[in-house]
């Protein structure tokens, strides 16, 4: 059985110590397209050699920087073929601004497993603590495993939210690069779905797709730049559900509604009649 919920649910994941440098932060933010406005002072804060400001979404790659092996979906009670897996949702909560360099320890667990019938949803939660013993950030993410449901578990709650019934406060388009996935994979996500045309076609896609976490980071940066004066230190949390695919070279349309302490966001693909790519997007700020 690829999923044994009796073993998997609540299982502790191996702890991990890791570190990062300003160059790692720069590489991550270049992977999202930072520097496109190469003479803009606010833009260049993402690429400062000594103290680059750090987008909270850096938390999604900090542990796996520079890994060169494709990831495996193998946890206690869970063993799934990588080709069956897509990212379901991602959430980052930062407890203080992420420093440009640091050392930290990650602890995690399988917090939820849901049976969707034709698929299974597995939720992980990781807590990251800095070398000073204080919490830095918490991440929660889910994977959607096609063909792995039907084990008799609960379906789980619906997380869909409604967009405000008014015109957005901001409506921005961001063009991705044809080589965006090949650049982003240098951060440690070597899933061949994003680089190998044959692998992508075997998984049901006409071509390699952009990493969902790359789209996730681009939208967070776009919202930060547009609505928060490009000040990443104001962001306290960012979450999104992966609602569709984006192919490198396509254009992301980001619509943003400002509410009290939160930006509500929708991200779609311009070239495919605004097909959704991220949904239920929320950026919390102070």
Note the CATH architecture for domain 5-285: Roll (3.10)
What is the model's pLDDT at position 208?
97
What is the model's pLDDT at position 215?
98
Which of these is catalytic: 87, 89, 126, 189?
A: 189
Among 139, 137, 85, 136, which Cα is nearest to 111's?
A: 139
Pair of tokens at residue 218: 């681009």
Annotation says 189 is catalytic: yes
Give me the sign of the Cα torsion angle 40, 65, 119, 92. Answer: negative
What is the model's pLDDT at position 1?
57
Strands in 183-274 per DSSP E: 235-242, 251-259, 262-269
Pair of tokens at residue 255: 């619509």
The answer to whether 208 and 197 have CB atoms below 8 angstroms apart is yes
Domain ranges of the chain: 5-285
Q: Measured between alpha carbons, how far is 263 from 284 in angstroms, rounded to an integer?
A: 6
What is the model's pLDDT at position 94?
98
Query: pLDDT per position in the chain (286 positions), as tens?
Result: 578 888 999 999 999 999 999 999 999 999 999 999 999 999 999 999 999 999 999 999 999 997 888 777 888 888 888 778 888 999 999 999 999 999 999 999 999 999 998 888 999 999 999 999 999 999 999 998 888 888 888 888 877 788 999 999 999 999 999 999 999 999 998 989 999 999 999 989 999 999 999 999 999 999 999 999 999 999 999 999 999 999 999 999 999 999 999 999 999 999 999 999 999 999 999 9
pTM of the model as a whole: 0.93
Which of these is catalytic: 87, 194, 211, 225?
A: 194
């Amino acid at each position: 059985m690829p999923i044994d919920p009796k073993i998997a649910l609540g299982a502790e994941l191996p702890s991990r110590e890791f570190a990062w440098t300003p160059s790692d932060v720069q590489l991550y933010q270049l992977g999202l397209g930072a520097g496109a406005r190469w003479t803009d002072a606010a833009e260049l804060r993402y690429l400062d050699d000594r103290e680059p400001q750090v987008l909270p979404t850096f938390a999604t790659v900090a542990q796996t920087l520079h890994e060169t092996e494709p990831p495996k979906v193998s946890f206690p009670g869970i063993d799934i073929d990588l080709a069956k897996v897509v990212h379901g949702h991602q959430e980052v909560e930062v407890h203080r601004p992420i420093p440009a360099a640091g050392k930290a320890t990650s602890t995690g667990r399988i917090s939820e497993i849901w049976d969707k019938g034709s698929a299974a949803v597995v939720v992980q939660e990781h807590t990251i603590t800095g070398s000073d013993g204080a919490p830095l950030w918490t991440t929660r993410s889910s994977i959607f495993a096609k063909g792995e449901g039907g084990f008799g578990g609960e379906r789980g709650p619906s997380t869909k939210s409604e967009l405000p019934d008014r015109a957005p406060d901001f409506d921005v388009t961001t063009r991705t690069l044809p080589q965006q996935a090949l650049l982003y994979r240098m951060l440690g996500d070597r899933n061949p779905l994003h680089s190998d045309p044959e692998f992508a076609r075997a998984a049901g896609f006409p071509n390699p797709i952009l990493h969902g976490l790359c789209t996730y980071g681009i939208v967070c940066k776009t919202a930060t730049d547009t609505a928060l004066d490009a000040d990443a230190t104001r962001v306290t949390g960012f979450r999104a559900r992966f609602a569709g695919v984006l192919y490198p070279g396509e254009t992301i349309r980001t619509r943003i509604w400002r509410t009290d302490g939160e930006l509500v966001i929708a991200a779609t693909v311009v070239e495919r009649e605004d097909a959704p790519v991220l949904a239920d997007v929320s950026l919390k700020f102070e």
